[in-house]
Structure 1
Amino acid sequence: ARGRVKTKGFFEPTTSHSRSRAARPFSQDNVAILPSVLEARLAAMAPRVNGFRDADGRLSMNAHQWLGICAYASLVLGFYLLQAPALEDSTTRLALEICYGAIALVAACAFVKAAAVDPVDDDDDDEAGLFCQPCDRNVHAGSKHCRACDKCVAHFDHHCEWLNNCVGARNYHSFFALVVLVLWQVSAQLCAGAWLLAWVTRNPARADALLDDDARFSSRVTRLEFQAALAAYLLVCVCLGYLVGDLFAFHVLLIRRGMTTYEYIVSRREAVDDARGERDGAGGRNSRNSARRRADWKAAKGGDALRCGWCAGNRVGVGDEDDEDVGGSSTGSR
C-alpha cells in the first residue's frame, strides 16, 4: 500500500492517510515563528465542535443565532402578553397557554439539539469512497468538507447560519422538526391574531372592558394602543411565516426528490451552465464550467469524481507518477 509523503512544514512528514491533524507530532525544528503566532494558526485550522462551541470548547455564537433567538423570543412573548390575555374564557386561556408553552419548549429543544450536535463524519474507514485532503482521512461518499466548520460532515445538506452549524445526517431531523414547529406556531398565531384584531374592531365596548381588567394586562392600555401593538405583531408574524414557510416548502421538495440542499444547488448551477454553454457555443468557458459542475454532481450522487475540490475518490497520491488532477486537487490511494 502506498501513501503520500508530506513536505516539511509545521508538522513532521507522515505516510498515513488516516492520521488526523490533531494527532500529527509537532516538530520544533521546522518552526521559526513565535509560539503565540503558531497557536493562533493552529486554532484557526482546528474545526468547530458544534454551533455553540469553537475548537477550544469555548462558547461561540454568531449574530444570526442571537437574531434568531430574539425573533423567536418575541414570538413567544407576543402570545403571552398580547393574545392570551385577550381571551375571555379563563379555562380556554389556561389550556392554550399550557399547550403553547409545551410546543415552544419542544421547539427550543430541537434548536439546541440541531446546534449542539457535532455532524462530523468521524468514521475513518479505509474502504470509504472519498479522501478529504484537509481532514487527511477517508470519508463517506455522501460527505462534504465545510469551509466554515473546517470538517467533513456526514451526508452534508447545508451550513445553517441560524444554527451556526452544519446540517447533516446527525441533526437533519432536529432541524426539520424545528422548522415544522416554528411554522405551526407562526401560522396559528397569525390566524389567532387576525381574528382577535377583527373582534376588537367589531366589539369596541367589550374590548374596552377586557383591556381595563388589571388581572389580564399588567398595565392599562387603550383599545387603539392594543390594536396598534397587535397589528405590528401580526406584521412580524407575516415576515417570519413567509421565511419559515418558504424554507419548509423547499425542504419538502428536496425530501420528495431525495436530494440534499447542496445537491440541489449543484444541479441548478449545472443547468445554468448548460444553458449558457448552448447559447454561447460549445468549447467556451461555460462549457468547461459545466463539465466541472457535472463532476461535482457525480460526486454528490456517490461517484468517484472530485467533490468541492477537496473530497475525492481514492486515486494515486501526490508525488506518484500517475498523479491525476481533477478540478485543481489530487487524491490519494492505499
Structure 2
Amino acid sequence: MIQLIVALALWGLVGALMIGTRRRTDQSILYAAVMIAVSLTLNIDAVYFAADGLLGGRNYADLPANLLLLLGVYFLSRAILRASSPSRADATARPFRIGAIITASLMVTTFVFIDAPTTSGTFMQDFGNQPAAAAYSLVQFTYLGIVVALTGTICLRFAGRMSTPTRRLGFRIVGAGCGAAVLTVLSVVGMDLAHVFGAMSLLALFASAYDVLNLAAILLLCFGLSLPPILGWVSNGINRRKLQAALPDLTRIWVDVSAQHIELGDESHPNAPGSVPRDVDTVVHRMLVEIRDALLFNPTARERLTDKDLALLTATEARIGAQQTSA
C-alpha cells in the first residue's frame, strides 16, 4: 500500500510540473521526476513481477529501477540547486556527476555477485544477508544520502532569497523533505548492516523507521516541488479572470488615446472582430504597451484619462507582471 501511495504521489508531481512546461526553459526537474516515478512504480509488486518476468525472472528489474532512482535524484538535485543557488550548483556539478558515474558502476558490479535466482517483491529482505547485496544497497544510498543532504541544506539556506512567497515556502518544504530523506538513508544503511551481521531485532527496528521516514520524505518533496506550479496556475487563472473583467475599460482607454491621432503601430484594435484570436494576456499586454507608448509620445493625451483610468493601468501592469513571474 505504501508503495502505491509513493508512486501516486510522484506521478502527481509529474502532472503538477507539466503545468508550467511552456514557461519553464529548463525541463530537467520534470525529466528527473519522471525517472524517479518510474523507478518507484517498479516497487509495486504487480509491476515489478511483470517487468522482471520480461527480463527472465531473476530480479534483473531491480538494477534498472535503482539506476533510474540514482539518475533521477542526481538530475533533481541539480535542478533544485540551480534554482536556489546557481553558484553552488556550479561548484557541485563535477563532484555530483563523478559520484553518480562511480556509484552506478559499483552498483552494476556488486549486483552481478548477488545470488537472487527467483523474482522477489522484497529483494533486500530476501537477499540482503549477502555481502554483495549489502554493498549494492550501501553504495547507492550513501551517494543518495550525500546528495540530498547537501541539496536540503542549500534549499533551507537560500529559500529566503526566492522571488515569490510560494517559492520560498516550496523550497523550505523541499528542504524538510531532504532532511527526512537523509534519515531514510540512515535507516536503510542500518537495515543493510543489521541484516548482513544477523542482528534481526535491529533490522526490524530500522525497517519500521524506514516505512515512516520514506513516506514522509516522498510526500514532503512532492508537495514542496508541486506547490509553486500549482499555486502559480491557480493565481494565473484568477489574474486572467480579472484581466478579462478589465478588458472593456482598457478598450475604452485604448480607443480614447488612439482618438488623439497617435501612431500606435496597428490600424486595427487588437481585440476587434475579425482580428486573429489571442488569449487575454496577449491582448491586454499589447494594449498596455500601445497605451503607454501613446502617452509617452503625446503627454497631452494623459489629460483625457481620469485618476481611475490611470490606477487601472497601473494595477493591470502589476497583474501582467505577476503572470510573468509566477511559478
The normalised TM-score by structure 2 is 0.36
Higher relative contact order (CA 8 A, sep 6+): 1
Q: Between Structure 1 and Structure 2, which shows a larger proportion of helix residues? A: 2
Q: Between Structure 1 and Structure 2, which shows a larger proportion of strand residues? A: 1
The normalised TM-score by structure 1 is 0.35
